[in-house]
Structure 1
Amino acid sequence: MTEYNGNVHVGGSAQTHELAKLMITKVAVGPMNNNAYLLRCRLTDEQVLIDAANDAHTLLNVIGAGGIGQVITTHRHGDHWQALAEVVAKTGATTVAGRFDAEGIDVPTDVMVDDGDTVQVGELTLQVIHLKGHTPGSIALLYDDPTGPPHLFTGDSLFPGGVGNTRGDAKNFESLINDVETQLFARLPDETWVYPGHGADTTLGTERPSLPEWRSRGW
């Protein structure tokens, strides 16, 4: 198996990050080079998908015969749920999304989550973190690995090099940068592994020195 580095591309192979209790498989799908993440509990083999972004065929191949119990959508933007209806139809999975974004997702949300709620992946727990600004109900998902560094799935709220796009809206940017600073950087250690909605992975420690620059530039 290829050593995990988080660098995947549309049409290329998926990569799997093997943790002691959790398997994280990352795959890129079109048309906007979106990342989707399949999480599998190694204790129970139960699986959850984060962002059925596009290309249901690719996602279903990654999911495999084991199926999935839930699909979590990180936010309402359409490029993150284009394959959701087909994936749900083929797997019978429950849909999960942030309460304030559910109305903007065409596929009905079965479970609306708020800040501090949890989502189970077999015997493991993901903590929901509400990050308002990129969209009203964007969520990140935290797996606090008891055997190593935390693992954080940030959707489009945090990337290598900056926070998510707020399209020049100063109020939304202020909300997002504040939430990212207080909910993520102030709470979690530098070694926290960050899995964004597009592109390469990063860590909070890599990004932390740039926070003042991001705030100053306003995006």
Structure 2
Amino acid sequence: MGRATSQAGLVIRLERLVVGYLDTNCWIIAPDLPGRPPALIVDPGDDPDYLAAAAASYEVVGVLLTHAHADHVLALTALAESLNAPIIGHPAEREVWAAELDHLKRHGYLDAGTATAGLVANGQAPRPTPGIPLWDGHLDQEITTPTTISLGPLDVQIIPTPGHSPGSLSLYADGHLFTGDTLFPGGPGLTSPDYPLTDFPAIMQSVRTLLTHPPETTIHPGHGPDTTVGTELPYVETWQTRGW
């Protein structure tokens, strides 16, 4: 568990829990308060028992999806049920999830984007874990416009950032951006004519919006290591020119 002082002087608890076949960063975000502080869980990609055990120290007020690609949602239903927590996301992601299930039905494994061929070749074709229920598309709270969720003294801003998927969301909590698969060290997330429902112009607009935050803002992506706004901002036009 990490603790970080926000720009507003609050101390935030941040837990990164790496799960699933694409090493997805699932996040627990909470103010650093005694007892069981209120928390959001972001992107429960797999292993619901592991995530539920990590969440036992918190009063979970919601489980939020940055988007509905399978590597971010496979533990969603089981985790939300075990914690009796509402599911939060953008309704456009139901179409994304339907495409994921269609790929599974047609091919017998899930679409892992550019990693799919390698996983299949290595005998690690991505599939749901038997016995863990799949999401049925239900959302308890639908977010389509900028929204703030309060965790006690900590306000978490939910920002629509379409492009990697039509309903992608990012989160900002004083000094910390949680960008899902919208922004990584080195550029935006995957968009391709071969990857359903992605949109490069849209993701670049989303990236530009995210990079208006102060340079010292830490970016926590959906996979891999952190970066900062100041580190990534000088390269926006390079990404725009290369087209990915």
Question: Shorter chain as normaliser: what TM range?
Answer: 0.7 to 0.9
Does the Cα contact within 8 Å between 1:49 and 1:68 map onto a contact in 2? yes
2:228 matched to which residue of 1? 203
2:72 matched to which residue of 1? 80
2:219 matched to which residue of 1? 194
Give the secondary structure class of the aligned counterpart of 2:165: coil
1:71 matched to which residue of 2? 63
1:158 aligned onto 2:183: yes
Give the secondary structure class of the aligned counterpart of 1:79: helix
**TM-superposition CA deviations, 1:177-202 (whole Å, max 9, x none):** 12211x212x3111110000000000
Give the secondary structure class of the aligned counterpart of 1:68: strand
1:29 matched to which residue of 2? 19
1:18 aligned onto 2:43: no
Give the secondary structure class of the aligned counterpart of 2:155: strand
Give the AA of the match of 1:158.
L
Coordinate RMSD, CA, aligned: 1.9
What is the CA–CA distance in structure 1 between the aligned matches of 2:145 and 2:66, rounded to whole Å? Answer: 13
1:114 matched to which residue of 2? 144
1:178 matched to which residue of 2? 205
Whose radius of gyration is greater, 1 or 2? 2
Give the secondary structure class of the aligned counterpart of 1:85: helix
- 1:168 is displaced (CA, Å) by 4.1
Give the secondary structure class of the aligned counterpart of 1:135: coil
> How many matched pairs?
198
What is the CA–CA distance in structure 2 between the aligned matches of 1:104 and 1:67, rounded to whole Å? Answer: 29
- 1:34 is displaced (CA, Å) by 0.2
Within 5 Å, which residues of 2 pair with 1:77-156? 77-105=69-97, 106-107=135-136, 108-143=138-173, 145=174, 150-156=175-181
Give the AA of the match of 1:22.
I
**TM-superposition CA deviations, 1:33-92 (whole Å, max 9, x none):** 100000122247112101111111221121124341210110011110100111011100
Does the Cα contact within 8 Å between 1:43 and 1:123 map onto a contact in 2? no
Moved more, 189-198 or 34-43: 34-43
What is the CA–CA distance in structure 1 between the aligned matches of 2:226 and 2:58, rounded to whole Å? Answer: 26
Does the Cα contact within 8 Å between 1:101 and 1:135 map onto a contact in 2? yes
Does the Cα contact within 8 Å between 1:159 and 1:202 map onto a contact in 2? yes
Does the Cα contact within 8 Å between 2:3 and 2:11 map onto a contact in 1? no
Does the Cα contact within 8 Å between 2:160 and 2:167 map onto a contact in 1? yes
What is the CA–CA distance in structure 2 between the aligned matches of 1:165 and 1:137, rounded to whole Å? Answer: 14
1:214 matched to which residue of 2? 239
Under a length normalisation based on structure 2, what TM-score does the superposition of the two structures give? 0.76
What is the CA–CA distance in structure 2 between the aligned matches of 1:57 and 1:72, rounded to whole Å? Answer: 17
- 1:175 is displaced (CA, Å) by 1.2
Give the AA of the match of 2:210.
L
Structure 1 residues not aligned, in runs of 5+:
1-14
Percent identity over paired residues: 33
Under a length normalisation based on structure 1, what TM-score does the superposition of the two structures give? 0.84
